[in-house]
Structure 1
């Protein structure tokens, strides 16, 4: 085999994979019911291979939070709301039916695409007066210290006149402790909402309200 033939063979062995090879965007229109509220949106039922695309799914924490918000919708009326890590937008879309202004955020461009589609599908037709915006956040949902950094900043900006609602699904005792430690380290008071502890997808979950001390 001469040099030219060898180079051609090596070129043939090089495989270039487009990033779309790793991304599943075969979204399904799915119906969710929270109390009297019915939401239809696009989502996956299993995540893409990219670990950073967990926002394509509706997770147990969102189900827990939406059940709580649907039962306590009055607390949303007239409020301005920001959701950190909106994913496909199931919680934001529910909030849009009651709140005055809404800001949905996520840090992943692929997730932002499906979030935008769901906003166009649901929010614009249900509540045209609701301001639903997208903001790309440099925010890793799995990083608890970064989450509390962001929450502390937002609470201070509003002069302590708002609160952070956290739907927490317990997966490990170390994470449970870290949540409490981060709240304390950031000068926050974290209180379990009475009657919200329940089992979701075989995991124990609870709603916390977090405010500045």
Structure 2
């Protein structure tokens, strides 16, 4: 394996490229993607599989497609890219999918090419973004100076240490031009992580609103999932003070 293929120092010990093509059916859309069938033992490579929160966000996007049609989207922690590909299919004018890991970006780009849809390919970009990395975020915003209407994220709060830089990145994006809100499919697994998430959101001047009837148990049904709409507190005119629920 070439040195450039090790994901920025991840190493061959954790590398598994036994990807399987599957077709994700959502609404009347069928999206072919390559992914692993089980997670890597390295936290840095978890983007190689499709997580339960993705199912929650995909269903929300299909059920509320009118919100996203014609919109520009940036997705954080895109993994194999199925959410961004769905956004492209429902009529988003631009979709920028991001991940911090080079190996994950490689499979993401393969999945974009797998679609074999020239019009779709012209609306989708894959960019490297490590949360909290101001230089990488600035490069993306320089490439897309018109900004983004919405931020998306699915099941990206499973590591407590990554929540502060994630919230910094979200705050920065929401302050840029006309960015309206962050749609997050949140999966509750550990109460300490839940508390860290709510505390960091408050610290970074973010207001959370649970989307009605979005609470569910995706995937194997073990965990609780919910869609949050997240905005800057200055943009919230009639929002109540948010109290972290027992999720």
* Same fold? TM cut 0.5: yes
TM-score range, shorter chain: 0.7 to 0.9
Contact 1:96 1:130 in 2 (8 A): no
**Counterpart for residue 38 of structure 1:** 30
Alignment deviations for residues 11-36 of structure 1 (CA, whole Å, 9 cap, x no partner) = xxxxxxx9334311010011212222
CA–CA separation in structure 1 for the residues paired with 2:34 and 2:95: 19
Contact 1:44 1:56 in 2 (8 A): yes
Paired residues for 1:115-154 under 5 Å: 115-122=108-115, 124-125=116-117, 127-128=119-120, 130-139=122-131, 142=159, 143-154=162-173
Give 1:185 deviation, angstroms: 1.2
Contact 2:113 2:121 in 1 (8 A): no
**Counterpart for residue 69 of structure 1:** 61
Alignment deviations for residues 169-212 of structure 1 (CA, whole Å, 9 cap, x no partner) = 00012222222211211111100000000011221100000011
CA–CA separation in structure 2 for the residues paired with 1:19 and 1:177: 33
CA–CA separation in structure 2 for the residues paired with 1:170 and 1:92: 23
State whether structure 2 residue 71 is matched by structure 1 residue 79.
yes
State whether structure 2 residue 103 is matched by structure 1 residue 110.
yes
CA–CA separation in structure 1 for the residues paired with 2:207 and 2:82: 27
Q: Which structure shows the bigger proportion of residues in helix conformation?
A: 1
State whether structure 2 residue 171 is matched by structure 1 residue 171.
no
**Counterpart for residue 29 of structure 1:** 21
Deviates more, 1:130-139 or 1:92-101: 130-139
Give 1:144 deviation, angstroms: 0.7
State whether structure 2 residue 200 is matched by structure 1 residue 209.
no
Alignment deviations for residues 79-103 of structure 1 (CA, whole Å, 9 cap, x no partner) = 1100001100010000111201110
CA–CA separation in structure 1 for the residues paired with 2:122 and 2:189: 35
CA–CA separation in structure 1 for the residues paired with 2:207 and 2:43: 32
SS in 1 for 2:12: helix
Q: Which of the numbers 174, 179, 182 marks the counterpart of 1:155?
A: 174
Give 1:139 deviation, angstroms: 2.8
Deviates more, 1:136-145 or 1:59-68: 136-145
Equivalences, count: 194
- CA RMSD of the aligned region, Å? 1.8
CA spacing shift, 1:171–1:45, aligned 2, 3 Å: same
> Where does the alignment leave 5 or more consecutive residues of structure 1 unmatched?
1-17
State the TM-score, normalizing by the size of structure 1: 0.85
CA spacing shift, 1:54–1:210, aligned 2, 3 Å: same
Contact 2:88 2:120 in 1 (8 A): no
State the TM-score, normalizing by the size of structure 2: 0.74
